Structure 1
Amino acid sequence: MTEARIRTVVAEAHGLGRRQDTGPYHRPTPVTGTHFVTLVKPEVLETADAADAMSEVVRVLREGEVNVLRCALVPARYFAERRYLLLHYPRLHRVAADGVHALCTAARREVRSLLDASGAVEVLGAFDAMTQDTDLSPAAIDDRCRRAGIHKLGSGSYASVLELNGRTVVVLNGFLPALVGQYDSPSALVGLVECHSPREVEDLRTHLLGALHPAAASSSSLRGTLHSLVDAQGLPPLSEGRNGVHLSAGHLEGMFQTWRYFAAADGEGVTSTALGRSLVDRGVSAAALAALAGDHNLTEDSGETVAPHGATEHLSRPAVLDLVRQWTATGKEVEA
């Protein structure tokens, strides 16, 4: 896949206003290493600069021992309208919408500690919080949460302590409405890159992806590179909330993302992915595997609930295979 081909696909996506794809990778993806998706966000894929940003992303990936298998460019509004954004971050959305009820057991314990320490009187999902202050726009609640501090409760679950109408409350995933709004741009694209690397996912996310705030990221990382590119072009600076790029957080999440953005477009099921094939070979059914796609809580033997994507985040591939096989073999209950 050449730089010229990538630039052509970017231009076609802008010109035609629909998904454009470099096409299937015609060899089986190795069942070792890490099979994942790099998502390039709208803030770095505006019309004039999208080709440069995508070219830089692919360059950094390749220099980081990543085999770039396939690229697709999708108009940002199409990406949001087709609910790809919700599917990409299912727990972020569920917690913002449903509040504490969507949290797993460990995250609920963290919220209780935060309530005790802050004296807050209520826990609200981001969207409920916005209904309690009609002047609280997505940008405003995002800014207030970041200034107050964002506490990670678990995968896809974050909390901030805010004052709303004279009351101290805990707001869950308060940055999510602003993140969703970034996909409303009529001129921006979303870049999807199917990748495979011999490096482990934790190594890729720690070193290749770069720090959450691009200005603090290594210049050789994806976020550091995009920070420099945006700065040189005089575009609005990147930030924690507009950080340019996301990389699958674990092998399980990577499997669902590579399936959803690429294999599914070819009419293939999730078991056509590298991890999916390995799980089927170990006796996991396609139906049991598909039940994990939405990242709904699983009830463990102890009675505690866990988030499947979070529980497998940064684990090695063999550890993920063993854990998923254990979950599906024992018929763990998946919450609706």
Structure 2
Amino acid sequence: MTLVKPEALAIGSAADAMVEVARVLGEAEVTILRCALMPASDYGELGFLLQHYPRLHRIAVDGAPGLCSDARRELGSLLDRSEANVALGAFEAGVYDAALSSAMLEARCRQAGIHKLGSGSYVSVVELNGPPVAVLNGFVPALASSYRDPTALVGLIECHSDREIADLRTNVLGALNPNAASPTSLRGALAALVGSQHAITLSEGRNGVHLSAGHLEGMFQSWRYFAAADGHGLDRTALGRALADRGAPLAAVAALAGDHNVAEDSGKTVTPHGDTENLSREAVIDRVWQWTDKSRGSDR
């Protein structure tokens, strides 16, 4: 799935932006199967943003208890190295500073530096009316507010390519900051077009375009946007059928959509979406089959 974000799809820019995205995908040997546009406010109100980035939101709400094993270890190491002695989710930051808006919190986190702990899990050490505090996913409240713009749209594009996702994300998506991305990449080309023709500057934080990080995440996204509303199950997706053919129960596979932690035999927990990031299709099928075949529960 390719998600074109609201900052690139304002009134007047949407048609040009979507044509440019289609052009870059076509030149990269990516076929567009289905495409839809919807108001950004509807996208947010229907819960699509939360479901598109389930772990981002969970960590912003739940804080450290929602982290997987490796991310908890990384957080502990950062706390040991910093002056912060407490970690909290972004939506709890208001308890420490009631005057702090979502935009102010994001700016403060970006100025302090955003450190990746794991898939969908980030931390910044900032001051909130006193001693330093480790804020988890501090940019998420501002991200959510950007989908409340009644004048902007969201673009949803289901794609097919023989190129692997790791290749597409490395060589087609482009650098996180669209303004520093290659002009032949999705982000770089889109930034150049909306900048020159519509005076829109894409941000590093929103980055204009999202491309599914893995086959599992992409399956859930394409199913959610194009099949679920018609009452179809995961067997309507190519990966869902492949998993069913392998013997994975699709009800158990569907439970992975929320990206809750999954317990491994070693006792550590992993994130389904993160643990299958950039893996080949066959490797993803093997991984998901192992999780669902053993009927492992979720560490919620």
Matches within 5 A, 1:120-139: 120-139=84-103
What is the CA deviation profile of residues 202-248 of structure 1, one whole-angstrom value per residue up to 9, with x for unaligned ones?
11111111000001100001100111012203534112112111000
Cα-Cα RMSD? 0.9
Tell me the amino acid that sits aligned with residue 185 of structure 2. S
1:255 matched residue in structure 2: 219
Compute the TM-score of the two structures, normalised by the length of structure 1: 0.88
Question: d(CA) in 2 for partners of 1:111 and 1:240?
Answer: 24
- Sequence identity of aligned pairs in percent? 64
Q: Does residue 35 of structure 2 align to residue 71 of structure 1?
A: yes
Q: Does 1:152 align with 2:109?
A: no
User: Are residues 1:235 and 2:199 paired?
Assistant: yes
Counterpart for residue 218 of structure 1: 182
- CA-CA distance at 1:265 after TM superposition: 3.1
Correspondence list, 1:290-329, <5 A = 290-329=254-293
Report the number of matched residues: 300
User: Is 1:286 aligned with 2:250?
Assistant: yes
Partner in structure 1 of residue 154 of structure 2: 190
Q: CA deviation at 1:181?
A: 0.9
2:171 alignment counterpart: 207
Could you tell me which of 71, 77, 89 is aligned with 2:53?
89
Q: Which one-letter code corresponds to 1:133 in the other structure?
A: D
- The one-letter code sitting in structure 2 at the alignment partner of 1:282 is R
Give the structure 2 partner of residue 175 of structure 1: 139
How far apart are the structure 1 equivalents of 2:299 and 2:72? Answer: 16
- Give the 3-state SS of the residue equivalent to 1:292 in structure 2: helix
Matches within 5 A, 1:272-283: 272-283=236-247
Pairing partner for 1:265 from 218, 229, 232: 229
In 1: Cα distance, 2:98 partner to 2:212 partner? 35
* Residue identity in the other structure for 1:253: E
- What are the residue-to-residue correspondences of 1:21-60 with 2, within 5 Å? 37-60=1-24
Q: In structure 1, the residue corresponding to 2:167 is in which secondary structure?
A: helix
Distance 1:130 1:300 in 2: 35
Query: Which contiguous aligned blocks of 4+ residues in structure 1 show a shift greater than 4 angstroms?
Result: none
Letter in structure 2 aligned against 1:335? D
- Counterpart secondary structure, 2:243: helix
User: Whole-Å Cα distance in 2 between the matches of residues 180 and 267 of structure 1?
Assistant: 27
Q: Which TM-score applies when normalising by structure 2? A: 0.98
SS at match of 1:161: strand
Segments of structure 2 that go 5 or more residues without pairing to the other structure are none
In 1, Cα distance between the equivalents of 2:176 and 2:104? 20
- How far residue 164 of structure 1 moved from its aligned partner, in angstroms, is 1.3
Q: Aligned partners of 1:69, 1:265: CA distance in 2, in Å? A: 17
Q: 1:101 aligns with which of 65, 75, 90?
A: 65
Tell me the distance in 2 between the aligned counterparts of 1:143 and 1:313. 28
Q: Distance in 1 between matches of 2:23 and 2:33?
A: 13
